[in-house]
Amino acid sequence: MSETYRALTRKYRPTSFDDIVSQEHVSNTIKNAIKQNRLSHAYMFCGPRGVGKTTMARVLARTINEIDTSVDGESLNQTLNIVEMDAASNNKVDDVHHLRESVRIPPQNGKYKVFIVDEVHMLSKAAFNALLKTLEEPPEHAIFIFATTEPHKVLPTILSRVQRFDFKRISVNEIVQRLRKISLDEDISIDDESLHVIAKKADGALRDALGLMDQAIAFCGDTITHDELLQALNVVGSERLFQFMECVKNHDADAGLSLIDTLLQEGYDIQEYLIGLTEHLRNLYIAHETEQLYLVEESEETKKRYQQTAKHFSRDDLMRMLHIISEAQIKLKDASQPRIQFEITLLKLIHMERSEKLSELLAGLEELKKNSGNFVSPSENGSSQEKTTAEAKAEQNANGQDASEAEEPKQVQATPERNGQQASVDQEPAPESEPELQHEAKADNSAEEEPSETNSVEESSDEQYEEEFEVEEPDYEEPAMEPEPEEDEDDEFDIGAPAIVTNLSKKAGVAVKPSRPKREAAAAASFPQKEEKPAPEKITAEYVQEQWVNYVNSLEDEFPKLLQMQVERVKVLKLKGKDLYLECESQFSHKILEEQKTDLQKKLKECVGTLLRFNISVAKQSEKDKPMSVYERFKQIQQKDPIIKDIVDIFGAELEY
């Protein structure tokens, strides 16, 4: 390198249209205008910093005045035909007046006199107005070229008098190609990964990329390595980001905290790291689709690594992570303890559950909800199961009973219940009821021989519905062996057992089969029933309402407390015939009452003297009565208590996942 070293940005400034990177839409238009002799009197070059606006203006001035390439671009201002003015420092009306005086002077050794005004948006409104007339009707030899990064600040009257060209940002790959060419010319050794780091850091500006390249050469010398470059530019490398995502994948909070401490000790800026992490998560999201991998501006080796890492996260998870990081960037600006806020944000990502696990959990809950009835054992739901003939014989032989008495379970098993469920009457053996049981067995045999009689009895369901009875415990106590449960046959219509079990259902076991009128009489004789209150001549809803308190109190001994509380809250609406219309508070109450409706109806019969059918509906809730969700309740607590709100703002204790 020579003693009078020039920065790369100045040394490699383009001198022709072909050298300008990524602005072909502008250079081709201007070259065609020159070729066809259709040059405009005023141009406006707009775009972000470092994309070649001023360079394009100088190349245009050099081309139309045919200035030799030996003249440096920065020396063009010293010629008589090209005038450059910085509007940022010359933004007054007097400066524009001086410019207008220069316009009247024709070119000395060329065809055009070019006026390049950089950062034109910095001119004052008065200066813009002073330039209007000259800009609208300039001399034939004058060409104005304005360059600005903020065209919206330029007056519309100025924009309407110029041809506007919008310059675009330079892509990472184009910057990498340009830097690779310059590194070969300068005999600098640098790898592709380092070139991508410089290009991404430049953010679409080739001038910034050349400045970073200069800085890297000054730090590393002629051989630039990736690790040294990251240290020189203080850039968060992709390796650090992949390490953090490994902690997130393994839910390793300890390793994550150690990594955070290392980053802060090395001097990385928290906001810079969050910006890099946001881009990293965005690249992982894109890497799920191979067809869109061109959107990831990284080297081929890094792209493959993105594809491998993306397999461990779903797109839903990555979107949730991006949302958390975006919110953290906003909160971090006002945080009194940025490090604590930074650690909390990253720990949220580490502890966040995966969407696949949540989906499996929801599916398991749905399956559990569907099959919940099948998980209730017979001892819990109060429904007794049938015994096989062999089990019945063994039990009866143990109690010293005859083999003839063991025929009854066989008959019970052969006849299904009216509800389609299999059950057996669970009662203690009584010595004095043996003749009745033998007589009942004979009655069963005769009932099987006469199917027509059985069918006629089954058809009269309403009469049998009122004939269902309640069984009470006998006054005497006699030891009895517990029935052994039998495996039920698979029934695709089995919806499970009721959630609440009453003493009434435990005592009665099941409803008596409609084809057993003689059996009902025998059971009624064996177990005395409670005396029912005589019914009045005409039962009204008012009468039922009067008896409702007594009815609720009568439930205390035979029904669970929860069921009694639900019945107490029920509202009697009306009585239509034998149908009693009731209204409950919620779906939960409705489900419990529907499950125990049969037992409750029979219990009400004791109070009012007749059997009434329940028709239960759920009351409509007003907006005020509707329960708040967890999130709404949490927000309400924050509004009432400012201390909790401060804790939420500081520690991020929100219901986000």
pLDDT tens per residue, range 382-431 = 444 444 444 444 455 444 444 344 344 444 343 444 444 443 334 444 44
Specify the pLDDT at position 511.
44
Specify the pLDDT at position 497.
53
What ranges in 36-92 are assigned the alpha helix state H? 53-64
- Mean per-residue pLDDT, 448-452: 43
pTM tops 0.85, yes or no: no
Residue predicted with more confidence, 611 or 530: 611
- DSSP for 313-344, written as a single string: S-HHHHHHHHHHHHHHHHHHHH-S-HHHHHHH
Q: Give dist(CA 439, CA 443) in Å, integer.
A: 6
Token pair 């309407």 in the structure block, residue: 160
Residue 272 pLDDT exceeds 50: yes
Parts of the chain belonging to CATH 3.40.50.300? 8-168
Residue 307 pLDDT exceeds 60: yes
Top-level class of domain 8-168? alpha beta
Q: Give dist(CA 324, CA 336) in Å, integer.
A: 19
Query: What is the Cα 619 distance to its own chain's centre?
Result: 33
Specify the pLDDT at position 363.
77
Q: Which tens digits make up the pLDDT trace of 7-22?
A: 888 888 998 899 999 9
Query: What is the Cα 603 distance to its own chain's centre?
Result: 50
pLDDT band for position 344 (50/70/90)? very high
Specify the pLDDT at position 418.
42
Residue 474 pLDDT exceeds 60: no
Specify the pLDDT at position 178.
93
Q: Give dist(CA 183, CA 472) in Å, integer.
A: 101
Q: Which tens digits make up the pLDDT trace of 497-509?
A: 555 555 555 555 4
Specify the pLDDT at position 32.
94
Lowest pLDDT segment from 266-280, 496-510, 512-526: 512-526
Superfamily of structural domain 541-618: DnaA, N-terminal domain (3.30.300.180)
Token pair 């390595």 in the structure block, residue: 225
Parts of the chain belonging to CATH 1.20.272.10? 238-355
pLDDT band for position 54 (50/70/90)? very high
- Mean per-residue pLDDT, 88-117: 88
* CATH number attached to the domain at 173-233: 1.10.8.60
Residue predicted with more confidence, 500 or 233: 233
Task: Please state which architecture CATH assigns to domain 238-355.
Answer: Up-down Bundle (1.20)
Are 525 and 440 within 8 A, CB to CB?
no
Q: Give dist(CA 82, CA 628) in Å, integer.
A: 73
pLDDT band for position 652 (50/70/90)? low
What ranges in 104-237 are assigned the alpha helix state H? 125-136, 156-159, 172-185, 192-202, 206-220, 226-233
pLDDT band for position 108 (50/70/90)? confident
Give the orientation angle of helix 206-220 with respect to helix 192-202, to 10 degrees: 130
**How far is the CA of 86 from the CAs of 95, 96, 107, 384, 542, in angstroms?**
10, 11, 21, 98, 96
pLDDT band for position 291 (50/70/90)? confident
Are 149 and 49 within 8 A, CB to CB?
yes
Parts of the chain belonging to CATH 3.30.300.180? 541-618
- Mean per-residue pLDDT, 222-240: 86
Parts of the chain belonging to CATH 1.10.8.60? 173-233
Specify the pLDDT at position 565.
86
- Mean per-residue pLDDT, 20-31: 93
Are 127 and 98 within 8 A, CB to CB?
no
> What does the buried/exposed string (b/e) look like for 402-427 if buried means 16 or more CB atoms within 10 Å of the residue's CB?
eeebbbbbbbbbeeeebeebbbbbbb
Residue 436 pLDDT exceeds 70: no
